[in-house]
């Protein structure tokens, strides 16, 4: 039977993509609390955080933390807000700047990191958590969704490594006491990062060292880096070695790609920007396997790119990801996707004769 959410999702899918995302974000307030407690075979304890299931919302959907309460009703094990920059940004001025590649189950975007800026997002998060504490008896609060914040170098400061670092440290210090983990987005394809130190492993190492020195309080927050699927092996192994030596706590693989695969069929395939969705699947699986093997499974990996079903998510996990994230799959399949994946996981685990998600991590890596 079609629900109100199914019908609304169908209507939204006819809107221009950027408008559709905004309406969908607003529409999350009508999502029913379908969440049931995840079975323990889906639970994992990573970085001392309890992930009730391995499915996360990727950065870019709720850039400004305007819907975290409603999004958590959809069944996500974790939600990543952002990317956030110190100053508010409108992003690239020329519109349209987001395109559906329907025939390829993909999206191209060149949004250019629009967001409300650190102060607004911090205020919104504090308001959310004050409210959440007041209604601490609600089901959502009992099934707490892990919350990450993704922070990025401001494209307008990228020419100045010192300024960039200062701005990112401000974001880190303000968000560290509020969220569960922080991701450094050092892979946005829509800014001119060529030769910029902040995007290279040495620049990232320097940045993280400064963040750790500036870290408020005693808590050491998990710090992840999000890398590009366009990196060559030497570069992604550099990041992997850095993580393995304790430089950061995990790697998200990965962001959108500038690559245009010959298999793409949609008329919009040559639009400039980062490509996401189904066409990324093999690249992400190969990179996951390569990094998992290189680091002997010692670095926590998040697989992000091309997840449209439980089978896709399981593939990323078997390739070495402990957790997965979704964006484009949600845009094509709607909010029910998360529940569907959680439900189908149990069947898949039985099929693979595995007892838990944790036991499935890296099983396809030889």
Ligand X SMILES: Cc1cc2nc3c(=O)[nH]c(=O)nc-3n(C[C@H](O)[C@H](O)[C@H](O)COP(=O)(O)O)c2cc1C
Closest CA to 28 of 87, 81, 71: 71
Tell me, residue by residue from 28 to 67, as one string, x for binding to ligand X by CB under 6 A and - for no binding. ------------------------------xxx--x----
Q: If you ran DSSP here, which 8-state letter would residue 54 be given?
A: S
| 172-191 binders of ligand X (CB under 6 A) | 185
| 240-279 binders of ligand X (CB under 6 A) | 255-256, 276-277
Instruction: Single out the residue of 304, 318, 341, 354 in contact with ligand X (rule: CB under 6 A).
Output: 304
Judged by CB under 6 A, how many residues of this single chain contact ligand X?
Answer: 27
Nearer to ligand X, 54 or 60 (CB): 60
| Part of the chain binding ligand X (CB under 6 A), chosen from 2-10, 109-117, 235-243, 353-361 | 109-117
Q: Does 307 bind ligand X (CB under 6 A)?
A: yes
User: Hey, which bits of the chain come out as E strands?
Assistant: 44-46, 49-51, 55-57, 78-84, 98-101, 106-109, 146-151, 181-185, 223-227, 250-253, 274-277, 300-304, 323-326
Residue 300 and residue 46 in contact, taking contact as beta carbons nearer than 8 Å: yes
| Residues sharing a CB contact under 8 Å with residue 201, sequence separation 6 or more, in sequence order | 235, 238, 239, 242
Nearer to ligand X, 88 or 132 (CB): 88
| Residues sharing a CB contact under 8 Å with residue 99, sequence separation 6 or more, in sequence order | 17, 107, 108, 109, 268, 271, 273
| 88-107 binders of ligand X (CB under 6 A) | 98, 107
| 113-172 binders of ligand X (CB under 6 A) | 113, 150
Quote the least distance from Cβ 37 to ligand X, whole Å. 26
Instruction: Single out the residue of 73, 110, 165, 226 in contact with ligand X (rule: CB under 6 A).
Output: 226
Closest CA to 60 of 363, 358, 327, 266: 327
Q: Does 111 bind ligand X (CB under 6 A)?
A: yes
Which residue's Cβ has the minimum distance to ligand X?
60
Separation of alpha carbons 282 and 152, rounded Å? 26
Nearer to ligand X, 53 or 354 (CB): 53
| 66-85 binders of ligand X (CB under 6 A) | 82-83
Instruction: Single out the residue of 305, 320, 334, 335 in contact with ligand X (rule: CB under 6 A).
Output: 305
Separation of alpha carbons 276 and 179, rounded Å? 26
Separation of alpha carbons 329 and 303, rounded Å? 13
Nearer to ligand X, 107 or 243 (CB): 107
- Axis-axis angle for helices 233-244, 281-294 (nearest 10): 50
| Part of the chain binding ligand X (CB under 6 A), chosen from 66-74, 88-96, 202-210, 301-309 | 301-309
Backbone angles phi, psi at 329, to 5 degrees: -55, -40
Q: Which residues of 260-299 are buried (b: 16+ CB within 10 A; e: fewer)?
A: eeeebebebbebebbbbbbbbbebbbebbbbbbebbeeeb
Residue 181: count of CB within 10 angstroms of its CB: 21
Q: Does 227 bind ligand X (CB under 6 A)?
A: no
Nearer to ligand X, 286 or 296 (CB): 286
Within 13 A of 254's CA, how many CA atoms are on the CB side?
A: 27
Instruction: Single out the residue of 328, 342, 360, 361 in contact with ligand X (rule: CB under 6 A).
Output: 328
Quote the least distance from Cβ 138 to ligand X, whole Å. 28
Nearer to ligand X, 41 or 72 (CB): 72
Quote the least distance from Cβ 337 to ligand X, whole Å. 11
Nearer to ligand X, 143 or 145 (CB): 145
Quote the least distance from Cβ 327 to ligand X, whole Å. 3
Q: Does 335 bind ligand X (CB under 6 A)?
A: no
* Interface residues toward ligand X, by CB under 6 A: 58-60, 63, 82-83, 98, 107, 109, 111, 113, 150, 185, 226, 255-256, 276-277, 280, 304-307, 326-329
């Amino acid at each position: 039977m079609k629900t109100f959410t199914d019908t609304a999702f169908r209507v939204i899918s006819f809107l221009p993509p950027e408008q559709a995302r905004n309406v969908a974000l607003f529409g999350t307030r009508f999502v029913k609390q379908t969440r049931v407690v995840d079975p323990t075979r889906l639970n994992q304890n990573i970085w001392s955080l309890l992930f009730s299931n391995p499915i996360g919302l990727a950065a870019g959907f709720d850039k400004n933390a305007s819907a975290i309460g409603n999004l958590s009703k959809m069944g996500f094990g974790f939600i990543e807000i952002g990317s956030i920059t110190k100053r508010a940004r409108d992003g690239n001025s020329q519109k349209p700047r987001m395109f559906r590649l329907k025939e390829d189950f993909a999206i191209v975007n060149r949004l250019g990191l629009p967001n409300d800026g650190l102060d607004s997002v911090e205020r919104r998060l504090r308001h959310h958590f004050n409210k959440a504490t007041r209604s601490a008896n609600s089901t959502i609060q009992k099934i707490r969704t892990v919350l990450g914040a993704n922070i990025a170098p401001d494209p307008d400061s990228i020419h100045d490594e010192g300024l960039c670092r200062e701005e990112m440290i401000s974001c880190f210090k303000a968000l560290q006491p509020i969220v569960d983990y922080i991701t450094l987005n050092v892979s946005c394809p829509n800014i001119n990062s060529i030769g910029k130190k902040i995007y290279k492993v040495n620049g990232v190492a320097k940045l993280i060292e400064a963040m750790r020195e500036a870290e408020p309080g005693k808590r050491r927050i998990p710090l992840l880096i999000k890398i590009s699927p366009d990196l060559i092996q030497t570069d992604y192994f550099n990041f992997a070695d850095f993580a393995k030596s304790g430089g950061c706590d995990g790697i998200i693989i990965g962001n959108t790609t500038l690559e245009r695969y010959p298999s793409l069929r949609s008329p919009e395939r040559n639009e400039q920007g980062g490509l996401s969705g189904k066409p990324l699947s093999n690249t992400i699986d190969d990179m996951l396997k390569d990094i998992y093997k290189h680091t002997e499974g010692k670095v926590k990996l998040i697989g992000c790119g091309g997840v449209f079903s439980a089978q896709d998510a399981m593939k990323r996990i078997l390739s070495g990801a402990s957790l997965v994230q979704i964006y484009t799959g949600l845009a094509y399949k709607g909010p029910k996707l998360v529940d569907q994946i959680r439900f189908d996981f149990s069947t898949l685990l039985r099929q693979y004769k595995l007892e838990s998600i944790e036991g499935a991590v890296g099983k396809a890596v030889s």
